[in-house]
Structure 1
C-alpha cells in the first residue's frame, strides 16, 4: 500500500459508479471499509433524490389543487358573504403557506442533491482508482514471482527431459549390445523373464 495518495480530478461526469456492475465485479469478496462508507453515502443521497423528486411532484400537484380551491373559495365567499366560507378560506391559505415552505425546501434540495451526488460519486471513483492501481502493482509483483517460478520449473523440466533422454539412450545401447552378443532368441527369453514381454 502507498503512504501518500495522489490527488485525482476526473473530468468525466455522469457515470454513477454504484450502478455499474463491472465496478462491483472488481471487488471480489468484501469491499474495503472506505469504499463501503462512500458507497453507503452515495446510495443514501440517491435514495433521498428519488424521495425528493417524488414528494416535489406531489407537493406541486397539491399546491396547484389548493390554489384552485382558494380561487374557487374566494369567489364563493365573496358572492355569498358567508362567515363559514371565509374561515375555510383562511384555513386553506394557512395550508398553502405550509405547502409553500415545504415546496421551497424540496426545490432547494432538488438543486443541491445532484452536486452532492456528483461529489460523493467522484470521491468513490477516486478511492476506487487508487485501490485498483495498488492492486495492479501488487498483481505485477505476483506475476513477476510466478514468471520466475515458471522459468525455474521450465529449467527443471528441461533438465529432467535431458536425464530421461540419457536413460533412453543408455538402454538402447545396452539392448543393442546384448542383441548383437547373445542374439534375438536369448533377448526374447530375457525380455519375457524381466519385463513380462513389455519391452
Structure 2
C-alpha cells in the first residue's frame, strides 16, 4: 500500500505510474470502499469529492441518454425525408419539399449537437477518473490519519492491559494468601476450642 505514494511523510498525491497499472474501480460503486465508512464519519473533503464524482457520473449518463435520443430523432427525420422524396420530386409537391427542407435543417442541427455531445462523452472518462482518484486521495488521507490515531490508542490499551494483568495477578495472590490464612486460623481454633465455641465466636465477630 505504501508503494502507492510518492512521499512517506505525508499521504498526498498517488503515484500515476502505479495507478496506470491498476484498475481503480469507481469508489462509489465499490462495496469495500463504502464499508470503510460504516464506523468512520466522512470528512468534508471526502463528501465534496464524493459529490463531484456523483455529478460527473450523472452527467455522463445524461449525455449518453441525450445522444441516444438525438440518434433516434435523426433516424426518424431521415426516414421521413426518404418517405417525402418521391412526393417532393416525382409529384413536384411544394409542401413536401418545404417539409424536407425543414427536416434537413433539423438534422443538421442534430448532427452539430451530436458532435458536441460526442466530444463531451469522450472527455468524461478522464474527468471521472480524476475525480475518482481525488476521492481516493481524500479517503486515504482521512483513513490513514485515523489509523495513526488508532495505532497510538492500541499501544495505550496494550499498556493498560499489561498493567491490569499485573494488578490482577497481585489481587489473585493476595486473595489466595488471605483465604489461606483464614482457613488455617479457622482450622486451628476449631481444633483448639471446638465447633460449638467457634460458632459463638463467629456470631460475635461476624454478625452483620
TM-score (norm 1): 0.88
Higher RCO (C-alpha 8 Å, min separation 6): 1
Q: Which residue is 2:4 aligned to?
A: none
Deviation at 1:166, TM superposition (A): 1.9
Deviation at 1:185, TM superposition (A): 2.9
Given that residues 38 and 120 in structure 1 are in contact (C-alpha distance below 8 angstroms), is that contact kept between their aligned partners in structure 2?
yes
Q: Which residue is 2:181 aligned to?
A: 170
Q: Which residue is 1:7 aligned to?
A: 13
Q: Which residue is 1:49 aligned to?
A: 60
1:109 to 120, 135, 150: 120
Unaligned ranges ≥5, structure 1: none
- Equivalent residues in 2 for 1:170-189, closer than 5 Å: 170-189=181-200
* Matched pairs, number: 196
Unaligned ranges ≥5, structure 2: 1-7
Q: Which residue is 2:3 aligned to?
A: none
TM-score (norm 2): 0.84
Cα deviation, 1:89-135, whole Å, max 9, x if unaligned, reads 11111101111111112211221112211221122112212322222
Is the counterpart of residue 134 in structure 1 residue 145 in structure 2? yes
Alignment RMSD (CA, Å):
2.2
Given that residues 60 and 124 in structure 2 are in contact (C-alpha distance below 8 angstroms), is that contact kept between their aligned partners in structure 1?
yes
